Structure 1
Amino acid sequence: MSTLHIVGVHGIRQGSAATTAGLSSRWQKSVAAALAVTGDADRVGPVEVTVPSYQSAFPKTATRYIRLGPETADAADAPVDEEEEEFILEALASYEPSAVDDAEADDASLVPGRTLGEGWLTPRILRRAHAVDRKVGKGATARLMWLVREAHTYLRDEETSAAVRAKVREALVETGTSMVIAHSLGSVVFYDMLSRGEIPDTRGGEPGVTTLVTCGSPLSWLAVRAGVHTTGGPLAVPAGVEWTNLYASNDYVAKGGGLAHLASGVVDVKVNNGALQPHDVHRYLDKAAVSERILKAAAGRGK
């Protein structure tokens, strides 16, 4: 029985020391756990997971070290510029629309001294972040800002995004995979590649990837979607690609919801990731829904 190759596309905050070998090993263990739970390991046969590390493609800026709290001595960076400010404001507004009016009414003095590295967050961002925290829960924006800033860097810095996509494409070519699992910002990266027609052709004129599983995806955010296709338009599922999207109700990145309402052809699967770290990739990978998609991909192996 031939090996089923799976390429994983990781999200943010992997750390500059994260390697392809390390990420691949950890994802492999979680996938093996899913297959063990469902008892599908024997039917699937050998599986090899490759997760190319693209962390080095990101500039070492506050995107890496962001904190909504006391200034961090190691995180020198320039202040948020006007364009990024608008991106952050839009992301926070789409995450919790009802917080927008509250944010405009707030006074900046309510949240003094909160910084982003050595660059001060603007009063508008501070007011909206404070309003979102009131609506969603204390510390919500501290977690969200990691994703928002790295998403901004990916979507607005063509040199960075091209380097990230090149890393993923290299893994797709080397493995000849038909299955991709993309987590968090990784779902944005892979959807961007689909939209650009950058998936390697290994099926005689058609993209080689036929099975896509996304987990904890932020693609429903207006500010993120605007960077990968026309704002307000539906997400497009390419012909021949079976797309399953996993989301947890308390995953703050996925906004507790799926993608099917934005794209016909996407199958949403709600999973329970518990109360602690519901966005963690390994809490998604060990689910029966992942095992089921792997089993189906394995059944079509070699066709």
Structure 2
Amino acid sequence: MVRGKPQLLFVHGIGGLRDTATDHRRWLEALATGARDAERADAISALTQGWLADVTFANYSDLFNRRGAQGDAAGELDEHEAPFLMELLDSMLDDLAEEFPLESSPQEARVIRDARFQLDAAIEGRQAQGAGEIGRRLVGVTTTMLRLPGVRQAAQWMNGWGVLSQLAQVGRYLDRRAKKAELGTVIRARVFESLDPARPLVVVSHSLGTVVAYEALHEYEGAVPLWVTLGSPLALGAVVLDRLVPRPAFCPANVAAWLNFWDRNDIVVGRPHLADWIRPSKSGVKAVTERVDSRGLWTHTATKYLQHGIVARPVIEALRP
């Protein structure tokens, strides 16, 4: 039997350089807001003061600090990043088209159609273009995607290059070529470094962090009463799913429960397919997916998800003795 004070691990997703202490505080504050929304206000002090669990924010953002993190010029992709991003954007647009059909969402459907036209043109002409020109064309695609009503005034991604450069982090993590694969190994080591496998671990992962957590949990030797995934790209078609290790993808054996949450205005999410495309563990545990609807301009942040009572309640319950 696993004993001892529970551990709560936050695993972040795509983005720029992070400050560990600041994000640790913000995620906890958002979870506290969610606890209040779930009518679990009695747990807020225990959560924020560290009495309920030892909380770790696993910050690996510095490992993506390539050529100055946020300072790359538009269109500056290498020859391996561009094909991955084409596949990723293709999957994202397929999912968005499914979520926003023309009959019920004409405004969103027109934006998605325009982005699809631009992406198809970039794919068709890629043989005659250098990586720089392809990058500029893909920036056009992501700039168009930012016109979607749910994200067009977003503060986190101010332009199409911001979207593209951060989406490229997914490809860099999943790159399995010899030396490139070392990045994933170092990231997972960073996630593990302060954990005690002898104590129960609750994991809350977001965005790319859900991909990192998937592979890390397959390597982890401790018990995980609950794994929560937020805004996950795990089921974004073959571009992510077929690159996971181990594959074919299945729920890690040490996870006792897996809850997956998605928002219809979150452009990075692979919609509800995750529960169907990732196999259950040998004990029968598989993802249980629920939709949340966030208020405000930008939904692809962990804090937006954590503020929902439906997300916070199971985390708190899993941590309580």
With normalisation by structure 2, the TM-score equals: 0.71
TM-superposed CA distance for 1:295, in Å, is: 3.4
Q: 1:250 maps to which residue? A: 265
Q: 1:123 maps to which residue? A: 133
* Distance (whole Å) between structure 1 residues aligned to residue 73 and residue 269 of structure 2: 21
RMSD between aligned alpha carbons? 3.3
TM-superposed CA distance for 1:65, in Å, is: 3.6
Q: 2:59 maps to which residue? A: 53
Gaps of 5+ in 1: 70-78, 110-119, 202-206
Q: 1:223 maps to which residue? A: 239
TM-superposed CA distance for 1:125, in Å, is: 4.4
Q: 2:297 maps to which residue? A: 276
Q: 1:286 maps to which residue? A: 307
**Per-residue CA shift, 1:8-45, capped at 9, x if unaligned?**
00112242xx3332221221111111112222243685
Look up the SS of the partner of 2:289 in the other structure.
strand
Q: 2:166 maps to which residue? A: 147
Look up the SS of the partner of 1:245 in the other structure.
strand
Higher relative contact order (CA 8 A, sep 6+): 2
**Per-residue CA shift, 1:229-257, capped at 9, x if unaligned?**
478x4x31123411111110000111554
* Distance (whole Å) between structure 1 residues aligned to residue 63 and residue 142 of structure 2: 31
* Distance (whole Å) between structure 1 residues aligned to residue 210 and residue 167 of structure 2: 14
The answer to whether the Cα contact below 8 Å between 2:35 and 2:309 also exists between their aligned partners in 1 is yes
Describe the shift of the 1:175–1:51 C-alpha distance in structure 2 as closer, same or farther (beyond 3 A): farther
The answer to whether the Cα contact below 8 Å between 2:36 and 2:309 also exists between their aligned partners in 1 is no
Residue 313 of structure 2 is aligned to residue 297 of structure 1: no
Residue 106 of structure 2 is aligned to residue 92 of structure 1: no
Gaps of 5+ in 2: 95-112, 153-158, 281-285
Percent pairwise identity: 26
Alignment of 1:22-171 (within 5 A): 22-42=22-42, 45=46, 46-48=51-53, 49-61=55-67, 64-66=70-72, 68=74, 79-97=76-94, 103-105=119-121, 121-127=131-137, 130=140, 137=147, 141-142=160-161, 144-156=163-175, 157-171=180-194
How many residue pairs were aligned? 268
TM-superposed CA distance for 1:3, in Å, is: 5.0
With normalisation by structure 1, the TM-score equals: 0.74
* Distance (whole Å) between structure 2 residues aligned to residue 191 and residue 245 of structure 1: 12
Q: 1:180 maps to which residue? A: 203
TM-superposed CA distance for 1:62, in Å, is: 6.1
